[in-house]
Amino acid sequence: MSAEKLKAQLLAAANATKARDLLRFFKTGKGEYGEGDLFIGVTVPTNRAITRQYLHLPVEQLIPLLRCDIHEVRLSALICMVEQYKSRRTSEQQRQEIVDTYIANTRYINNWDLVDLSVYHIIGAHLQHRDRSLLYRWAQSSSLWEQRMSIVATMWFIRQGEYDDTIRLAEQLCNHPHDLIQKAVGWLLREVGKRDINPLTDFLDTHYTTLPRTLLRYAIERLPVEQRKHYMARKA
């Protein structure tokens, strides 16, 4: 099994009709966030089924796939990296290689599905007991995708019962003009609130007057009806 065979299997599963739908869904038109991305129409379940046969591929073989101009090929490389990072058979040296490869290639992890599939399983998990300044650098990046990575990576910490970094990064990003960042921040705040409502309501009480409506709607989605009405009325 090789990276070339993996790519060939993905190409063989291409579906032109589905590809056209994905081009629209992932906003690949001129001036849109996914401008120029190329899709071949392989669904995620099909991609996972194909990629499952290649999870053993070493990271150096995955790099050309991660840099491929075809979206589904990049997705496949990230699936391999996530599964390898999670595996108990993976050594700490191999995990570090996966992390280093991820950080060096963020320019190719350039749509929200690629970010959301991978960043907290790799970067979030890796930073659990390490310095997290990388996330704050990403939050200040000129790259939309690194900015999204910064907040989505904290899903790992949330699942460990840690909320401080999510709240601090949300404070940095909460007035971001792009809806992909607003949605990500709102989503992660909602995840905090599902586990502990107090950090969420403290954040909302401090920032509600300036929060974009998209972010606010995502953040309060799981709150009781009266609380949601309260925040939306104050926002109005």
Domain housing 156: 134-236
- Considering the domain architecture, whether residues 117 and 209 belong to the same structural domain is answered as no
* DSSP H helical ranges for 26-163: 44-51, 59-66, 71-86, 92-104, 112-119, 125-126, 133-139, 144-152, 155-159
- Considering the domain architecture, whether residues 5 and 94 belong to the same structural domain is answered as yes
- Considering the domain architecture, whether residues 115 and 145 belong to the same structural domain is answered as no
DSSP 211: S
Quickly state the pLDDT bin for 233 (edges 50, 70, 90): confident
- Considering the domain architecture, whether residues 97 and 178 belong to the same structural domain is answered as no
Query: Any residues with CB less than 8 A from the CB of 162 and at least 6 apart, and which?
Result: none
Number of domains in the chain: 2
DSSP 163: -
* Backbone region of residue 36 per phi and psi (left: phi > 0; alpha: psi in -120 to 50; beta: other values): left
Q: Which of 100, 126, 152 is the last residue of a domain?
A: 126
168 vs 149: CA distance, rounded Å:
14
Instruction: Determine if the pTM surpasses 0.85.
Output: yes
Q: What is the CATH number of the domain that holds 179?
A: 1.25.10.90
pLDDT in tens, 170-216: 999 999 999 999 999 999 999 999 999 999 999 999 998 889 999 99
- Considering the domain architecture, whether residues 222 and 145 belong to the same structural domain is answered as yes
